[in-house]
Structure 1
Amino acid sequence: MAVCPVSPTPNISIHPTLNQAGNMSSLSIFTITLHGLFSSIGILENLLIVGVVGFHVRRSVISIWILNLAASDLLATASLPFFTLYMARGNTWTLGLTFCRIHSSIFFLNMFVSGFLLAAISMDRCLVVLRPVWAQNYRNVQLVGRICGVIWALAVVFTIPFYIFRDTIHLSDGKILCYYNYARLLPAEPFDLKSLCKQRKEALAFLKLFLSFLIPLVIIIVSYAAVNTGLARRGYRRPFRFVRLVVAVVVSFVLCWAPYHLLMIIEVTAPKGHHAGKLATNYLPMATTISFLNSVLNPILYVFSCPDLCKKIRHSLGAVMEGVLAEDLADFARRRSAAHKSVSTSEMVSKPKNIANPYKD
């Protein structure tokens, strides 16, 4: 198998999983525990949001946006247990090539979908404020649903290169990495392998940076600046609970993803052996963990920024508990009725068949 001249080992290592004595380091245990915690909380939160918004909230433009964000976050958090398993096994991938590519692609798919959706939501808010007549006539659930479909399709297309260049790489120490292999699908004409690998590595890093982070961030900033200007010009207050929600989600998106993209660019552009490159390589795995935190924070923001959604969740959980209690009470009543009937029958059997009538004769 062709492999790039630059070894991928430093880039994939989360932290030294085993110390010299062969035991797990405290930092590794902390990182694995953190991933497991993120995974458990994120899956439960996003399942709850998807269930409530998908089945208990009236279909609206806002609910469609939130449902798609939650679905993307659910995918990301659902992939975390496998990454936690990977770290727990000493940074060794044992789940095969195909699942390595699928698992890694889910991370990048969530990255693109989140960025595209936040940009689309910001533009939607901008149109509602600046073009209210158009929004009243054309903005509806069907249109937003189709836009979300296009966003998912584009995200899948942009994830394909990351799927193609993901590979399982066998190391001399017996470990198996699930990481990039830029030496796949080599061109037919003569080429310099080292230069080709560098070009592909930089291309994918800048593709992620621009399409999933910088361009959505510019759209978000411009959209909300236009909304703010439009409201100020008309003398309106800046209300909207949903605006509060979107601002919170956007801030969370920036804080969670900015370190990952910054360190990734430093890693691919720094000269070989440079201190900045080594620093980026060491801290990039932790930045990746922080980026996963975005999928855990979003459901919390939905609940605290939307009191109506909070009420729906409480109502749904209450309905579930009522259903469970009702089943238990019904079962208890049936058992009690059956026991009472059994006692009554036994009493009838134990009574004498012929009892003398004291008034006879």
Structure 2
Amino acid sequence: MLFCPSNQKVNITSNPINQTVINQTAGMTSLNVFTIFLHGLFSTIGIVENLLIVGVVGFYVRRSVISIWILNLAASDLLATASLPFFTLYMARGNTWTMGPTFCRIHSSVFFLNMFVSGFLLAAISMDRCLMVLRPVWAQNHRSIHLVRKICGVIWVLAVICTVPFYMFRDTIPLPTGHILCYYNYAQFLPSEPYNLESLCKQRKEGLAFMRLFLAFLIPLLIIILSYAAVNVSLARRGCRRPFRFVRLVVAVVVSFVLCWAPYHFFIIAEVMAPSGDRLQTLAAKALPVAATIGFLNSVLNPVLYVFSCPDLCSKIRHSLGAVMESVLAEDLAELARRRSTARSSINTSEIVLRHKNSIPVPMEEQEHTETVSN
């Protein structure tokens, strides 16, 4: 989707992929409706799930290395799912962005931030497991909550740095149809020396695509595979066949990560590498919104995996929800009791005032006047 605005002397409709995107804004197809439905469903479920995980792990689970890993994964997923309602609204309006260029950049950057944080964290967790099995003495002496917090901080900083180019080249792009896209505008930050705009846009597009593929997917996946291969070999030599519960959890999360993000990266690279106007390029452009939706699904699946892999976490969630409901009910009952008490106090006060008025003695002058009249 090579967008070089017309004020840069490049017609955005000249590229077949650009024309595909423009055509997608013309009307609502059944695929668009289905994608919008999935986005709305994923955003609702994902926000609730990840809020529960962040709340329970953050406030009810004792601090440990494992809880810090899970807390950071859940925080990243919460950011991603919290941005979904805005993307759902964007798609429901026929791919028309109405919230300004700044929020367009921020909203899109959250998607890529989650992509990088998830990949980096899973790679770090895999290396952590590997060190625990291969170097248990070193892990016992150096593996601490403080160290893991620092590592998570570095991961978030690196992910933000990797997200900066995607923030810079995101923009709102007016189309001849009247729609406003929130998409890449590669014709920004142009060099001072002579250049070919179309070639420059293509280079930037390819650079960002391969940056995502390698830094957010292939390199973390390679680290994960090598780490768990080393763990399995070491455990097999020791005769340990049963994996740790947390190892099973991480394997499930990694499988979810690969299955959810592989289609997105495949179609991104297919769009970049296929010849202009090729059927594969057109197919990739049409499939990318669905592939991005599947990528968001990863943020919805992770909390489910945490709960099913950690029975203790499930019980803590139930306990936390019960505690919250008890607190809410207690506040409501206290408020109701306070109102009833206030109402009763008002009634009692009114009765006392009435009784007081009825019991006021008649003055002597009035009694004498009454007696005189009666005589």
2:94 alignment partner in structure 1: 90
User: Residues 172 and 129 of structure 1: is their aligned pair in 2 closer, same or farther, counting only changes over 3 Å?
Assistant: same
Mapping for residues 322-333 of structure 1, pairs under 5 Å: 322-333=326-337
CA offsets per residue over residues 176-232 of structure 1, 9 Å max, x none? 111111111111111222211111111110000000000000000010111111111
Q: Which has more helix, going by share of residues? A: 2
2:214 alignment partner in structure 1: 210
2:8 alignment partner in structure 1: 2
Residue type of the alignment partner of 2:187: A
Residue type of the alignment partner of 1:42: G
Equivalent residues of 1:32, 1:87 under 8 A apart: yes
User: Residues 348 and 6 of structure 1: is their aligned pair in 2 closer, same or farther, counting only changes over 3 Å?
Assistant: closer
Post-superposition offset of 1:10:
4.5
1:127 alignment partner in structure 2: 131
Post-superposition offset of 1:326:
2.3
Query: Rg larger in 1 or in 2?
Result: 2
Unaligned runs of 5+ in 2: 1-6, 360-375
* CA distance in 2 between partners of 1:306 and 1:203 (Å): 40
2:259 alignment partner in structure 1: 255
Q: What is the TM-score of this pair, normalised by structure 2?
A: 0.86
Equivalent residues of 2:271, 2:285 under 8 A apart: yes
* CA distance in 2 between partners of 1:53 and 1:277 (Å): 43
3-state SS, counterpart of residue 272 of structure 1: coil
Task: Indicate the larger mover: 320-329 or 101-110.
Answer: 320-329
Residue type of the alignment partner of 2:229: A
2:106 alignment partner in structure 1: 102
Post-superposition offset of 1:313:
0.7
Residue type of the alignment partner of 1:16: Q
Question: What is the CA RMSD across the aligned residues, in angstroms?
Answer: 2.3
3-state SS, counterpart of residue 177 of structure 1: strand
3-state SS, counterpart of residue 204 of structure 2: helix
* CA distance in 1 between partners of 2:70 and 2:9 (Å): 42
2:52 alignment partner in structure 1: 48
2:362 alignment partner in structure 1: none
* CA distance in 2 between partners of 1:264 and 1:70 (Å): 26
Mapping for residues 13-162 of structure 1, pairs under 5 Å: 16=24, 18-19=26-27, 24-162=28-166
Unaligned runs of 5+ in 1: 354-361
User: Residues 192 and 162 of structure 1: is their aligned pair in 2 closer, same or farther, counting only changes over 3 Å?
Assistant: same
2:240 alignment partner in structure 1: 236
Residue type of the alignment partner of 2:116: F
2:192 alignment partner in structure 1: 188
CA offsets per residue over residues 96-130 of structure 1, 9 Å max, x none? 11111111111111000000000000000000111
Is 1:281 paired with 2:279?
Answer: no
Equivalent residues of 1:5, 1:193 under 8 A apart: no
